[in-house]
A and B are shown apart, each in its own frame.
Chain A
Amino acid sequence: MSKTTLKIQDITMQFGGITAIDNLSFEVKEGQIYGLIGPNGAGKTTIFNIITGNYQPTKGDIIFQDKTITGTKPNLVVQKGIARTFQNIRLFKSMSVLDNILIGFHNRSHYSYLEAIFRLPRYFTQEKKIKAEAMAILDEFSLTEFVNHKATDLSYGNQRKVEIARAIATKPSLLLLDEPAAGMNPSETEDLSTIIHKIKKDFNLSILLIEHDMKFVNNMCDLVTVLDYGEKIFDGKPADAIVDEKVITAYLGDFTHA
């Protein structure tokens, strides 16, 4: 049995009187692709925001690589090895593709502010190093030809790839993908799943993803958790999820009383 990367332990999240997440627990093992699915408003993105430290949960703990990280500041969570993408693409609009990736290296290039101002040797060696690494990542995503393009000039599918590449640049061991296939056409989706499988292997990642596209989930995920109104209604293989009665009810509504 492989090691547990991420453990969600009895998480409850309340916003005022509304319970967005109710006593949720699940585990992502090392090297797994884990799916988090459920209808709109089920609390999937809330879970992401709790893991990345944007929200402080009302109750419960997030355990990452055997250490509790509940309440850690978002920028420190990244340094611990959890990177994320956003539901609606959030690239740095005015910057080139390369610069977008280089932001991911912010904590992995070591020179001080004064070293940058006075252009001391460490600035040059570090910048050279991270630029080479960034190019290698872009190559992995076959984005090399767009290096100097403005990020927002790229096609939707390629912007998604840049966003994932940017997350990879922070050298995570766990990658959180928030609806990576949203708004993509079937061929782009297929391209994306190939890339996700590839980077998972090449960068030794565990992946937790939110998705609506069941075909995509079926293709990608080893295990899924289905949420509805903040409660877990299913836990197991994706193939079993689509035939589960509770899951179908959550998505399509209850027909028995109709």
Chain B
Amino acid sequence: MKGILIKIALITVSLGIIWYTNSHLDIYNLSIVNNIGIFAILALSYNLINGVAGQFSLEPNGFVAIGAYMTAIFIIPMDTKIDMYALVDPAPVILQMQANFPIALLAGGLTSALMAFLLSVPVFRVRGDYLAIVTLGFGFIIRIFAMNSPAYTNGAMGLNDIPEFADFRWIGSITIFTFLVMIHVIYSKYGRAMKAIRDDEDAAVAMGVNTFKVKTYAFMTSAFFEGIGGGLLASFLSTIAPDQFTFLLTFYLLIIIVLGGLGSMTGTLVSAIVIGFGLEWLRFLDDNMTIFGYDTGAHPGMRMVVFSILLIITMLFARRGLFGDRELSDILKSKSSSKRKNV
């Protein structure tokens, strides 16, 4: 009962902060928090399959692309579409797809989840490195499909003029919702089974866990929220093209979850914020700098060098990520109990 009250209080406070932020921050800072929110959604969901269930998959760019294109196609008005598809005429079904923003997001998420369901059959026949390669291939296929089907995706030109519905109220509340879903999954029998599969799949089977089913659940949940995150990304950027959904996107998410701790959702949240703000704050390194009266000149790219060094230092001190595989609440709990023991 106490837990539920705390949860409700935290959600209310967070929503309050989100609404306040949305109306009081300037456009530049708002775009940073929006970006962080979207990548937090993507990283949280990626962490479920990769960190909690331990299935080293490399496909989120594929699911994000599916969600982004689905949502974009649903919310771009019909007239705009007719003008935009320059290479070939859009397929009739593309013109007919019209929906309001929430439905469009949901459609993106569900399509991704359905794709994950179909993909789970071949993917979960293999483990470890092989799984990584198979899922990597899926990411490539989606991008190549987007590139080469101008009647559906407008090919390499991508989609522009996507209505900008995604403000921080949408992005922030969906981040909270994603976080809650992930925590609820982790602290249930399904989450325990996912961790068991990560630790020792054969032993999990010997305990009667249907590992294929549990892995598919994790994969579909992950894909659903990656699709939604993709939809938000499309509407936030107002333009999408196949080149945005390369392996680098997956890699960026991988950095976030490894820094936060594989399997820790609170860690992912913190890490998304740290990396998101960090990359912005370090921007001054790319500019002209004067150190002790000596003008160093501008070194574009310096930001990434320093950022990488900081990342390496962090990983040296926190080898299993900021929070390891535990949630913040577990860490606080064990801290307080060990204090009590010492007294």
Contacts and interface: CB of A to CB of B under 8 A. Distances in A.
19 contacts: A74-B206, A78-B206, A83-B206, A84-B206, A92-B200, A94-B199, A94-B263, A95-B192, A95-B196, A103-B204, A104-B208, A107-B209, A111-B188, A116-B189, A116-B191, A117-B184, A127-B188, A130-B189, A169-B207
Greatest chain A CB density within 10 A among B184, B195, B196 is at B196
Interface in A83-138: 83-84, 86, 90-95, 99, 102-107, 109, 111, 113, 116-119, 123, 127, 130
Interface of A: 52, 74-76, 78-79, 83-84, 86, 90-95, 99, 102-107, 109, 111, 113, 116-119, 123, 127, 130, 148, 166-167, 169-170
B184 to A, nearest CB: 5
Nearest to A90: B203
Contact of B193 (A74, A76, A103, A167): A103
B185 interface: yes
A81 B203 CA distance: 16
Given A95-B199, A116-B189, 15 more contacts: A74-B205, A76-B208, A86-B203, A86-B206, A92-B200, A92-B204, A95-B195, A99-B192, A102-B192, A104-B208, A106-B209, A107-B208, A113-B185, A116-B185, A170-B208
Contacts of B81: none
B190 interface: yes
A113 B217 contact: yes
A116 B190 contact: yes
B196 A92 contact: yes
Contacts of B263: 94
Interface of B: 181, 184-185, 188-193, 195-196, 198-200, 202-211, 217, 263, 325, 334, 337
Contacts, number: 90
A48 to B, nearest CB: 10
Nearest to A84: B206
Contacts of B193: 103, 106
6 smallest CB-CB distances across A and B, nearest first, come from: A78-B208, A116-B188, A92-B199, A90-B203, A107-B208, A74-B205
A116 B196 contact: no
A252 B325 CA distance: 49
A141 to B, nearest CB: 17
Contacts of B208: 75-76, 78-79, 104, 106-107, 170
Contact of B207 (A94, A104, A117, A118): A104
A249 B202 CA distance: 35
B203 A94 contact: no
B172 to A, nearest CB: 20
A18 B198 CA distance: 33
B205 A75 contact: yes
Given A92-B196, A95-B195, A116-B189, A106 B207 contact: yes
Contacts of A83: 206-207
B211 A75 contact: yes
Contact of A103 (B181, B184, B207): B207
A118 B190 CA distance: 13
Greatest chain B CB density within 10 A among A105, A117, A118, A123 is at A117
A225 B241 CA distance: 68
Nearest to A176: B206
B203 A102 contact: no
